[in-house]
Homo-oligomer: A and B are copies of this chain.
Amino acid sequence: MSALNFTHDPARRSWIESANAGTTDFPIQNLPFGAFVRDGQIRTGVAIGDRIVDLRALHDLALLDGDAALACATACDHTLNALMALDARRVSALRAALSDLLQHGSPAQARLAASLDAVLPLAADVELTLPCAIGDYTDFLTSLHHTERHGRYKGLADPLPAAFKSLPIAYHGRASSLRVSGGDVRRPHGQFRDADGNVRFGPAPMLDFELELAAVIGRGNALTQAISIDTARDHVFGYCLLNDWSAKSIQWFEQVLGPFLGKSFHSSLSPWLVTEEALAPFRKAAPSRAAGDPAILPHLHGARDQQSGGIDLELFAHLSTAAMRGDRMPAVQITHTHLDNLYWTFAQMVAHHTSNGCNLRTGDLLGSGTISGADDAARACLTELSEAGKKPLALPNGETRIALEDGDEIVLTARASAPGAVSIGFGECRGRIAPALPYPHAAGGQ
């Protein structure tokens, strides 16, 4: 299933010209799944260039048959969950059929082009929404560089937790406040210590972004039935970008049993699920470990994962401030990192997560943790970019940042590339900090 097939053929081009531009995230080799609002209804779709295949409209044209038709009918729901729970070969058949329908010279081109805006609306004309219903959200901590830097900022004698190299550390996140890319991220209220060490409640002063990649589960597992490392990857339907917005001042004060209100006010996801199949050309060996690192325990060690558990994926964060936008300055790239900076693979995260029998359900989200690398350019949050406030990040217009201010906008992007393959992207994960609302109590309750 992760072997290459004709859908990966770099020679394949689409009759939708925007899909052939070298800069598009969504060439015909990608075909990621998502959901959008049209005429007040949530529809599911597949991105191609600057357009979206409306799967219900396509279904109504009856151009598909066999597994592809079944998968398309299953996807005609308000979310992708039913499709994601299907056997992978059926999703693969739908992807293959879409590739054929959309390729240059397809016999279906005339039929599709005749009702272009009905079947293939412009992405700019619709509102994207969360691709699926997410039951549980788990956030991992798998970048050694991110973990070690934070340990050093705290002044720990051993900045890396003892368990870090034995298992992928994780905590449960808040699912209800996951939102699709775009719109405001409201600055939260919370308890924190002020400069005098007093505990106070008010708008949180230290907001940060965290650049992550997230896996979304396709087929789940039953409670008590662990998923083996060898089949773990097959349980991932696809991947998207995740901005794990963090209110550091809240987190520092509250954190006894892990992050809670410091994270749960909002987390942002890019709208498209790039499938495991689309990423096949970019698979590479799992990042190698340093000499002297402990051996991977057998339940997290699999030949397939070691051979191809990595992905050749670069990830970027751009920042623009209100002042920059006022001066029509472009957003500035502040992070350029690579998925190689993770110490654990997603298959290892899945195997570990279920090793105690915990059940993953279709739509569950697994965040990688902040993907920081060793290089300064690869620091993937402002806390690291400013060395915990000691060296404020300098922006081209003379502004500096140790934390996000109201009006600051972060855009995350990513790009998978490999020799001989058409590179693909993820779309963007965008969010802008909006000023805190007045707190209800001050107004006498709501």
Contacts and interface: CB of A to CB of B under 8 A. Distances in A.
Interface string A250-266: 10011011111110111
Given A256-B169, A359-B177, A297 B226 contact: no
Interface stretch (A182-190, A386-394, A422-430): A182-190
A118 to B, nearest CB: 33
A77 interface: no
Contact of A253 (B163, B188, B264, B299): B163
A176 to B, nearest CB: 5
Interface string A345-387: 0000000110111111100100000000000000000000000
A440 B265 contact: no
A328 interface: no
A233 interface: no
A247 B355 CA distance: 13
A174 interface: yes
A259 B259 CA distance: 11
A229 B356 CA distance: 38
A230 interface: yes
A200 B68 CA distance: 45
A254 B190 CA distance: 28
Contact of A174 (B162, B247, B358): B358
A353 B229 CA distance: 36
A157 interface: no
A18 interface: no
B440 A189 contact: no
Contacts of A167: 191, 254
A298 interface: yes
22 contacts: A141-B257, A163-B191, A166-B191, A166-B253, A167-B191, A172-B174, A172-B260, A176-B358, A176-B364, A177-B223, A177-B359, A179-B223, A188-B357, A189-B299, A200-B297, A225-B440, A229-B441, A231-B446, A261-B353, A261-B356, A264-B358, A299-B440
* Top 6 A-B pairs, shortest CB-CB distance: A258-B258, A228-B445, A188-B356, A172-B172, A171-B257, A257-B258
Interface of A: 135-136, 141, 161-164, 166-167, 169-177, 179, 186, 188-191, 199-201, 204, 223-231, 247, 250, 253-254, 256-262, 264-266, 294, 297-299, 352-353, 355-361, 364, 437, 439-441, 445-446
